[in-house]
Structure 1
Amino acid sequence: MSKKAAAPSNRTLASKESTLFKELLSLYENKQLKKGLKTADQILKKYPEHGETLCMKGLVLVHMGRRDEGIELVRKGIRMDLTSHIVWHVFGLIQKGEKKYEEALKSYMQALRFDKENMNLLRDVAQLQTQLRLYDGLVETRHMLLRLRPTVRQHWIALAVAYHLSGNLAEAKKVVVEYEKTLKNVPHYDVEHSEMLLYHVRLLEELEQYSEALTLLDVSAKDRAIVDKTAIMEFRARLLSKLKSEEAEHAWKVLVEHNPECYDYYKGYMSNQNLDLDKNPAEALAVLREFSAQFPKANVPRRLSLSLASGEEFKALAQPYLLSALKKGIPSLFVDVKSLYTDPAKMKCLEDIAESIRQDTSPESSVPSSSSTEPTTYLWSLYFLAQHYSYLSEHTKALDLLDTAMSHTPTLPELYTCRARTLKRAGDFYGASRAMEDARRLDGQDRFLNTKSAKYRMRAGLIDEASALLGLFTKKDAPSPGADLEEMQSLFYLQEEGDAHRRAGKLNLALRKYTAVQRVFDDYEDDQYDFHGYSLRKSTINIYLNVLNWEDHLRSHPSYIKAAIAASRIYVDVFDDPKLASGNVDGNSTDAEKKAKKKAKKAHQKEKEDAAKKAATAAPNNSSNEDKGLDVPFKDEDPDGMKLLSSPEPLELAWKLLQPLTTLAQNNIEVCIAIYDVSIRRKKYLQAAQALARARALDSEYPDLHVRIVHARHFVSSLPEAIPPPVGPVFNETLDKILPEGVALETYNSQYLQTHSTSANAILAAAQASRVLGAPLQEVENLLFTALGDGVQLDIKTALDISNFLKKVKSSRVDELHQALDTKFTISTAFKAPEELAKLRELTVSTNMNGSTEKLDNGTAVPIENEAELGKGVST
């Protein structure tokens, strides 16, 4: 920050104080905060109302951790001198540190009114405009910077990128061309110049000027100006394909030779040959066979062939593919081929091949053996088949295969993880947790197994036990394992613990975890800020543009979508029944939970004190003319989540979570349902209608959609007066297209149930719709119990949903349902009586905490029950 020469009289300082003020600016830039504070006090002793000094002192105090006091001084300084660019710049820095980017930009623009050519201000404004995606303003700012410093290479690049981001590729190209004219004596293999040339080629490609792009690429590669050889080959292959050149085929083959395991290269080659994988599978298979012969060790052409082949040809290709992977002992084989299961014929073929390999390699097989790898092949075939049958919900068969495999080789962790997954799918969450713990004890230093065991404990409701286990690999000086994992932005932990609290009915704690997921994505967005300047300085333009595109689609990540939907449902439930907000108080907590809450509050207080001390003592060694803003640590003012749960505006909080998904997850029907639930209660009828129409376009028979259609029509008919125009007619017109007004809702619900009488999900949806229409509880209960009938496809997840719905409507037949489900799902423990569940919980906690394993001489932990089998099988 530099003070302008000509200043109003109320800003004028004496010579000594003027020198001190310049020293204050220097001290701040070098982060010598204590000296800076003393210098500011010296000036204010003589000029107590000097606005610029007041603001600088406030800025120093904020950096020292005295935030409230500092901000008050800054506000006072602004009032004392409204026409100083320094006071507005300081205020902008404060707001930027608080992540209030829009307010910070307004402050910077105000500062620019009084110092239009301040380079620091212009750079900060450009970064904020990029952060806020204000590309038209960004172009103007970059133009100003280039006019002020035309000899700085970064300003040329930045202006080209600004035009690119605003969609004006032609102007971006002109800037790049003019910039390249200014270059002289560029050395060979200059990385930054290489990146600029690749960006120029990219621009030409996007402008569809393929010949010019190819010429520039070839000349630059020949002159050794482009460093990235792989990028040269990829650009060249794409450009030749778009030019329909005969050289394109060779270019793609060169890429395949360069990396035979890259799917994109094979797809590019196919596309260049005009081979549609869906329409021309035979021709594509012939090409892949050639590549398989040329690269016998490459896996990709063989795997692509499996997706294209069918019938006997598929069997001929799948047999060696599976056998090779089973001989090598590749644990991920099932995950690799699982996508083929969409075709029932291929699924059955893979099952037959795996069963054949198991029988041929079995110790009881009469087939003569000549391969020393057959014992391991037998083991991995058992593992593959167990995963296969578990995926098909044939849990008993999968568990039998795993028992056989464990008796063969009891020291293979994958067998225990597969057993845990199978038990989880079968509804035995406690047994799954014990199985996963057995896997973890086989290798106590494996973080993956430790993490999986903790996850399965959470799914069994053992949250405290899971936290203790996670503490084995988290920082020992952290307030708690959960606090460290939250700081490390562990999405799996936040999601799983949130789900565990929601299942336990602790909606406040669940909301706190889901909100923490939102904060993680907020941090991802904030983290891009530093790259707006860094990437341009380092000329990493292509990657920078890719990152910006990734950031624009950031919240389409599955973790965010899942957390947003779960949190919005809680907010909707609280809006419908405000008593839920007062049902999660300390009076319902156990002693352990109360102690944990007190510990969390103490840890929170300690974090605040440590953050203040750290800010006060921070003094980086390096200085920079470009201020990086203030990094404000997150202060958790709601450690138990009660403020979130008891918010007076739950629907607004829900909408804040869902709003990004209106454009980023349009094809997710669960998102559409969640948007409808929130919008109809916010009386945003057009949003609700759009969500219903979008969901219907995705899947018109979706069970949850059926409930919402009934709800929407019933809601409209129950309104005391019609929705006023212009919204009302549009809403009604959209609803009429989905369900005509003349159709009786009871009839519509009955027809839906008859159409989907074998689907348990549809039965649940029909029951929920009946409840919306005010049907008697007994009628709803009888309808739900039909899901237990023969011929109805009922799985554990749907059974749990039915149980939860009965609890929600306060049915007296929950125990009756559980008894029936316990008989139906013999492996499951989810529907046991409370006394039995308490015993299972105690057994699981005891087993997991105390362990049932012994150590071998080599340190490997092995379950005691398998100790007698240690001499059998092979070492893996």
Structure 2
Amino acid sequence: MPPAGIPPARALPSKESSLFKEVLHYYEDRQLKKGLKAADSILKKFPNHGETLCMKGLILTHLGRREEGLELVKQGVRLDLTSHICWHVFGLIQKGQKNYEEALKSYTQALRFDKENMNILRDAAHLQTQLRLYDGLVETRHTLLRLRPQLRQNWIGLAVAYHLSGNLAEAKTVLEQFERIVKNVPDYDVEMSEVLLYHIRVLEDLGEYTEALTLLDANAKSRAIIDRVAIQEFRARILSKAGKDEAQQAWQGLIEQNADCYDYYKGYLSSRGVDVDAITDENRDKALQSLHDFSQQFSKASAPLRMALELASGAKFAELVQPYLETRLEKGVPSLFADLKSLYRSPEKRDAIESAVTALLSTLQHPPTVPSPPDTDPTEYIWALYFLAQHYSFLGNHKKAIELLDEAIAHTPTLPELYMFKARVLKRAGDPFGAAKNMDLARTLDLQDRFLNTKAGKYRLRAGLVEGAVELFGLFTKKDAQSPSHDLEDMQSLIYLTEEADAQLRNGNLAMALKKYDAIHKIFDVFEDDQFDFHGYSVRKFTVNIYMNLIQWEDTLRSHPAYVHSAIEASRILVRVYDDPKLASKPSSESELSSAEKKAKKKAKKAEKKVQEEAKKANPNATNEDKGLDVSPPKDEDPDGTKLLQGPDLLERAVKVLKPLTTMAKDNVNVWIAIYDVAIRRKKYLQAVQALNHAHMLNADSPELHIRLVDFKRRWLSLSEKPSEDASLATSSAILKLLPDEVSVEVFNSQYLQHHSSRADAILAAAKVSRTLGAPREEVEASLFNALNADTALAIVAFLSEIRSPREEEFRTACQGKFELSTLFLSPADLAAARKAVVQKDPVAEAVEDKAETIS
């Protein structure tokens, strides 16, 4: 008879029962081969024992036999649906596959049959945190604390759970109870110090400043809190919030420790009643005097001087900015313009800066035939020219900027910054090829400088020279990597992936562009998954304050500009392919690879084979390797991105990447335009009109919105079969607010053009709508010649090409006349020649190849 409470199908004789305990022991000790052997011994006699089947499946999964192991686990669960071991194992497998929702369901099932299993409860708590199920998390942490109140981490885990769920009062109560019962805390205990700081943080968030200060001062005095800087920062911040007079002294103490921290100065001024973000004429002099005193006290600190420039105005600003500029130009600070650029929001300050630098330059200049005065500093002269070039380029006067840079280069032809900024000016002026060429010149001045090589590669990508860029990046990536691109993707280089994806898109290679955008999305998935380990680690190690910051950061992860940009562009590609499936035709993958990539692939295969051979020689008997539950990166079966572009459910994939942006980037009008484009094709009319409403609230005059409003109205009126009555009523009501029935789409378009006749992007939008409504091509073409604007000229060229306008070349010529420095409007043959000139072989390029093997 089996023991009471154990189902007959699960019961094992004593010998097999002992063997099963050994299986568990071997798994925990990672003696997987022995565990597998023991499991097979049980299954010979009891082939339908669910728990043994699950354990065997788990071991096989660790040994790399994932599919076979998963099937055994599923079989084991079906055979014993009331075993907490089976459900726990199934949850482990699902967690390893990053399927957190299903894993939590399995853990919940396991807890039904073993409510007090500590391992399952802890794992369930981590999954609930990962999925942001904070109410369930509080309940789970309560159970853990009830079962093991002697474990300090269970108290902190419950406090954190309450904090995450928004119940700060309960978090405070738990921390107070914990501090009352904790005994025998050693001196300088880092963990207890972190707990106390966390307690003070909770009190601060609750607004209980007096209690927070009392707790802080008591534990600082007893040295229970050992982070002295944190003590000072907490104290200064809480005193300021409480409106205490001691706040000023607290902030001053922090400034004395770090005189270049802007936040400390802001806190100090705030304690004196000055809000630097809302400065008034009444308190401006008071703030400037304080900053002046600090600059006298800390003569090497730049923060008080720079903050004074933000707050000063008029003659006082001119008085302060001149010595600030002179000192940094004399020292040769390349980032000076970047430092002062935020001041250009004020035309008055911008003009004062220009006057100061121009006056300084005039004292440094002298005729070429006249020797330099003894006190003239050639370094200051060069950096003054450099600064003014940046100044004029920022204002859009690119010709003047290039003249100044050429003068500086003639004086000092060995300064990389001059060529780098000339490249930037040319890029802004619409000459990506000249920009790439000049960035290459900068790179050749220091061939081992990774920054210069990286910038040169980036500018080649901007010029559409993907192969040339990859060759440059290959100088510094791993030599045994599959390719430089692959290595940079492994390193999660968002800037590289974004630039290459954009370059591929400009070159018309939709497949590779989508592949790179998809790689960016996967990196953010990894960022999201990486937090899982911290749910247990941070509570166990008491690093709670930084953990709370991590959770807040993860909650806004997909608001990152790289994700927003890639999601919008990927959805546009998917919509284009949905509209025209011919775009997904397969290119020749071999021809897309550069010679550098082909060479790198061969090297990578050789290196991988060599590593495997060396591993076998070093340990020929190694057969018990734990390959782990984590999903290993799959082999790239789609090197050219064709399968991704030709994949099914194009619109559903677009919905998936755009979904996070409805909350993470809801103030971006382009997000709602992209959501509309997908929704209207999925025939989700109410969702489409809601997206238009959001876009209208953000920017009612948006040209892209104008195009979509007309598009929706035409689609809606042409529907032969409307959706359900409620959906139709809601949709009709919403669209009437945006485009009333009494106004025809033709009149609506004409009114829009009249209201925005000076905006080039609006003219283009109106032209696109006119063409859609059947307006004569000649009329559409004529309207576009009034829109010679740098931001829209290329888009107009593309539109003229799309409608096969015979006046496309005429428009290009007009653009060339207006944008003299631009090469974007050259004929295809001239463009090809300009592109070729960027990577043309020269002695310097030959030297780079010779040195490539020696550069690390």
Q: TM-score, normalised by structure 1?
A: 0.90
Q: Partners in 1 of 2:553 and 2:279 — Cα distance?
A: 32
Letter aligned with residue 499 of structure 1: D
State which drifts further: 181-190 or 376-385.
181-190
Cα deviation code 1:26-80 (max 9, x no counterpart): 2222222233323322332333222222222221222222211221222222222
Aligned to 2:338: 335
Matches within 5 A, 1:163-312: 163-277=162-276, 278-281=278-281, 283-295=283-295, 296-312=299-315
User: Equivalent of 1:799, from 757, 769, 793?
Assistant: 793
State which drifts further: 677-686 or 493-502.
677-686
Aligned to 1:869: none
Please say if residues 426 and 825 of structure 1, whose CA atoms lie closer than 8 Å, have aligned partners that are also in contact.
Answer: yes
Cα deviation code 1:473-520 (max 9, x no counterpart): 111111111111111111011111111111111111111100100000
Please say if residues 164 and 172 of structure 1, whose CA atoms lie closer than 8 Å, have aligned partners that are also in contact.
Answer: yes
Q: Partners in 1 of 2:611 and 2:715 — Cα distance?
A: 51
The 1:620/1:261 distance shift into structure 2, 3 A limit, reads farther
Q: Partners in 1 of 2:679 and 2:607 — Cα distance?
A: 38
Structure 2 residue 536 is the aligned partner of structure 1 residue 533: yes
Please say if residues 260 and 303 of structure 2, whose CA atoms lie closer than 8 Å, have aligned partners that are also in contact.
Answer: yes
Q: Which runs of 5+ in 1 are unaligned?
A: 622-626, 789-793, 862-876
| Structure 1 position 266, deviation (Å) | 2.2
The structure whose RCO (Cα within 8 Å, separation 6+) is larger is 1
Q: Partners in 2 of 1:26 and 1:274 — Cα distance?
A: 66
Letter aligned with residue 151 of structure 2: V
Q: Partners in 1 of 2:321 and 2:623 — Cα distance?
A: 62
Please say if residues 193 and 225 of structure 2, whose CA atoms lie closer than 8 Å, have aligned partners that are also in contact.
Answer: yes
State which drifts further: 88-97 or 692-701.
692-701
The 1:204/1:611 distance shift into structure 2, 3 A limit, reads farther
User: Equivalent of 1:545, from 545, 548, 553?
Assistant: 548
Q: Partners in 2 of 1:381 and 1:28 — Cα distance?
A: 69
Matched residue SS, 2:792 = helix
| Structure 1 position 81, deviation (Å) | 2.0
Please say if residues 292 and 298 of structure 1, whose CA atoms lie closer than 8 Å, have aligned partners that are also in contact.
Answer: no
Q: Partners in 1 of 2:496 and 2:843 — Cα distance?
A: 20
The 1:108/1:359 distance shift into structure 2, 3 A limit, reads same
State which drifts further: 276-285 or 423-432.
276-285
Q: Partners in 2 of 1:771 and 1:608 — Cα distance?
A: 57
Aligned to 1:491: 494
Letter aligned with residue 114 of structure 1: F
| Structure 1 position 6, deviation (Å) | 5.5
Cα deviation code 1:828-872 (max 9, x no counterpart): 2222122222222222222479628799xxxx99xxxxxxxxxxx
Aligned to 2:587: 586
Cα deviation code 1:349-370 (max 9, x no counterpart): 2222222222222244999956
Q: Partners in 2 of 1:755 and 1:51 — Cα distance?
A: 74
Please say if residues 138 and 162 of structure 2, whose CA atoms lie closer than 8 Å, have aligned partners that are also in contact.
Answer: yes
Please say if residues 145 and 155 of structure 1, whose CA atoms lie closer than 8 Å, have aligned partners that are also in contact.
Answer: yes
Please say if residues 20 and 42 of structure 2, whose CA atoms lie closer than 8 Å, have aligned partners that are also in contact.
Answer: yes
Structure 2 residue 763 is the aligned partner of structure 1 residue 763: yes
The 1:578/1:545 distance shift into structure 2, 3 A limit, reads same
Q: Partners in 2 of 1:126 and 1:437 — Cα distance?
A: 54
Aligned to 1:567: 570
Structure 2 residue 819 is the aligned partner of structure 1 residue 819: no
| Structure 1 position 732, deviation (Å) | 3.3
Matched residue SS, 1:9 = coil
Q: Partners in 2 of 1:454 and 1:156 — Cα distance?
A: 52
Q: Partners in 2 of 1:4 and 1:404 — Cα distance?
A: 94
Structure 2 residue 33 is the aligned partner of structure 1 residue 34: yes
Q: Partners in 1 of 2:473 and 2:753 — Cα distance?
A: 46
Structure 2 residue 555 is the aligned partner of structure 1 residue 556: no
Structure 2 residue 147 is the aligned partner of structure 1 residue 152: no
The 1:89/1:598 distance shift into structure 2, 3 A limit, reads farther
The 1:728/1:335 distance shift into structure 2, 3 A limit, reads farther
Please say if residues 364 and 381 of structure 2, whose CA atoms lie closer than 8 Å, have aligned partners that are also in contact.
Answer: yes
Matched residue SS, 1:783 = helix
| Structure 1 position 619, deviation (Å) | 7.0
Letter aligned with residue 230 of structure 1: V
Q: Which runs of 5+ in 2 are unaligned?
A: none
Q: Partners in 1 of 2:704 and 2:843 — Cα distance?
A: 41
Aligned to 1:441: 444
Please say if residues 480 and 604 of structure 2, whose CA atoms lie closer than 8 Å, have aligned partners that are also in contact.
Answer: no
| Structure 1 position 273, deviation (Å) | 3.2
Q: Partners in 2 of 1:308 and 1:695 — Cα distance?
A: 36
Matched residue SS, 1:786 = coil
Structure 2 residue 425 is the aligned partner of structure 1 residue 456: no
Structure 2 residue 111 is the aligned partner of structure 1 residue 108: no
Matched residue SS, 2:633 = coil
Aligned to 1:127: 126
Please say if residues 703 and 762 of structure 2, whose CA atoms lie closer than 8 Å, have aligned partners that are also in contact.
Answer: yes
Aligned to 1:864: none
Please say if residues 139 and 163 of structure 1, whose CA atoms lie closer than 8 Å, have aligned partners that are also in contact.
Answer: yes
State which drifts further: 158-167 or 46-55.
46-55
Cα deviation code 1:646-685 (max 9, x no counterpart): 2332221111111111111112222222222222333333
The 1:304/1:513 distance shift into structure 2, 3 A limit, reads same
State which drifts further: 193-202 or 694-703.
694-703
Aligned to 2:9: 10
Aligned to 1:707: 707
The 1:595/1:381 distance shift into structure 2, 3 A limit, reads closer
Cα deviation code 1:67-97 (max 9, x no counterpart): 1122122222222222221121111111111
State which drifts further: 18-27 or 174-183.
18-27
Letter aligned with residue 130 of structure 2: Q
| Structure 1 position 172, deviation (Å) | 0.9
User: Equivalent of 1:830, from 824, 832, 846?
Assistant: 824
Structure 2 residue 412 is the aligned partner of structure 1 residue 409: yes
Please say if residues 145 and 155 of structure 2, whose CA atoms lie closer than 8 Å, have aligned partners that are also in contact.
Answer: yes
Letter aligned with residue 254 of structure 1: G
Q: Partners in 1 of 2:599 and 2:375 — Cα distance?
A: 60
| Structure 1 position 561, deviation (Å) | 0.6
Please say if residues 471 and 596 of structure 2, whose CA atoms lie closer than 8 Å, have aligned partners that are also in contact.
Answer: no
Q: Partners in 1 of 2:592 and 2:361 — Cα distance?
A: 50
The 1:269/1:685 distance shift into structure 2, 3 A limit, reads farther
State which drifts further: 692-701 or 130-139.
692-701
The 1:264/1:536 distance shift into structure 2, 3 A limit, reads same
User: Equivalent of 2:360, from 349, 357, 362?
Assistant: 357
Q: How many residues align structurally?
A: 840
Please say if residues 611 and 633 of structure 1, whose CA atoms lie closer than 8 Å, have aligned partners that are also in contact.
Answer: no
Q: Partners in 2 of 1:367 and 1:595 — Cα distance?
A: 52
| Structure 1 position 603, deviation (Å) | 10
State which drifts further: 753-762 or 135-144.
753-762
Please say if residues 285 and 305 of structure 1, whose CA atoms lie closer than 8 Å, have aligned partners that are also in contact.
Answer: no
State which drifts further: 394-403 or 700-709.
700-709
Letter aligned with residue 197 of structure 2: L
Please say if residues 600 and 639 of structure 1, whose CA atoms lie closer than 8 Å, have aligned partners that are also in contact.
Answer: no
For the aligned residues, what is the CA RMSD? 3.1
State which drifts further: 822-831 or 483-492.
822-831
| Structure 1 position 605, deviation (Å) | 10
Q: Partners in 2 of 1:828 and 1:133 — Cα distance?
A: 51
Q: Partners in 2 of 1:37 and 1:276 — Cα distance?
A: 68
The 1:854/1:458 distance shift into structure 2, 3 A limit, reads closer
Please say if residues 764 and 784 of structure 1, whose CA atoms lie closer than 8 Å, have aligned partners that are also in contact.
Answer: yes
Aligned to 1:396: 399
Please say if residues 274 and 287 of structure 2, whose CA atoms lie closer than 8 Å, have aligned partners that are also in contact.
Answer: no
Q: Partners in 2 of 1:24 and 1:534 — Cα distance?
A: 27
The 1:708/1:601 distance shift into structure 2, 3 A limit, reads farther
Matches within 5 A, 1:17-166: 17-166=16-165
User: Equivalent of 2:321, from 318, 323, 327?
Assistant: 318
Please say if residues 44 and 50 of structure 1, whose CA atoms lie closer than 8 Å, have aligned partners that are also in contact.
Answer: yes
